[in-house]
Amino acid sequence: MTQQLTSFKGIFPTLGNSNYVDPTAVVCGDVQLGDDCSVWPFVAIRGDVNTIRIGHRTNIQDGSVLHVTRASEYNPKGNPLIIGDDVTLGHKVMLHGCELGSRILVGMGTIIMDGVVVEDDVFIGAGTLVPPNKRLESGYLYVGNPMRKARKLTLAESAFLKQSADNYVITKNDYLNEAQFNSK
């Protein structure tokens, strides 16, 4: 299976153990993925002008774009992209220079802008736009364009945050097993 892992200024992405990166995905530059991550078709992860750190058991679904903000006089450190453990990024999510904690589900088509901090245990509904420099509090559902805090998560929704990540580890393992079978 050919992976599109490319360097930028001599820095290559690093992958944890047992990751699946679809052959159509591109991962470039100063990017580190934890263990048991999955990067699905047509994803672009570009750590060229700052760093990207992705935790364990995180899945990045089809068509998502992950990027960063360069350092400048206005913003001396820029904005790296940091993603915790057990995070599910739905199809066509766009993350730019933000920080996501652990056990988060980001719905399809969501955009999260520079300087945003999403605490642990958050559900972000599909199509949500999170403007720059917002903080999303743990234990809540956020929706809308621009986003608003909708309500506290139910116990079932909170449990689903980890279950979604676990489901993608299973799917990722199926893809890795299939690839091994086809290479024999």
Residue 97 contacts residue 81 (beta carbons within 8 Å): yes
One-letter amino acid at 122 equals V
Distance CA 163, CA 184 (A): 32
Q: Which of 164, 122, 129 is nearest to 144 (CA)?
A: 129
Q: Binning pLDDT at 50, 70 and 90, where does residue 184 land? A: low
CATH of the domain at 151: 2.160.10.10
Length of the chain equals 184
pLDDT tens for 42-99 read 999 999 999 999 999 999 999 999 999 999 999 999 999 999 999 999 999 999 999 9
Q: DSSP character for 73?
A: S
Residue 25 contacts residue 44 (beta carbons within 8 Å): yes
DSSP symbols for 116-147: -EE-SSEEE-TT-EE-TT-EEPTTEEEETTTT
Give the tokens for residue 49: 């002008």
User: How much is the pLDDT for 104?
Assistant: 98
User: How much is the pLDDT for 3?
Assistant: 60
Q: Nearest 5°: phi and psi at 16?
A: -75, -170
Residue-range definition of the domain harbouring residue 49: 4-182
Q: Domain tally for the chain?
A: 1
pLDDT tens for 113-168 read 999 999 999 999 999 999 999 999 999 999 999 999 999 999 999 999 999 999 99
Distance CA 147, CA 142 (A): 6
Give the tokens for residue 79: 């904005």
Over 90: is that where the pLDDT of 183 sits?
no
Residue 13 contacts residue 5 (beta carbons within 8 Å): yes
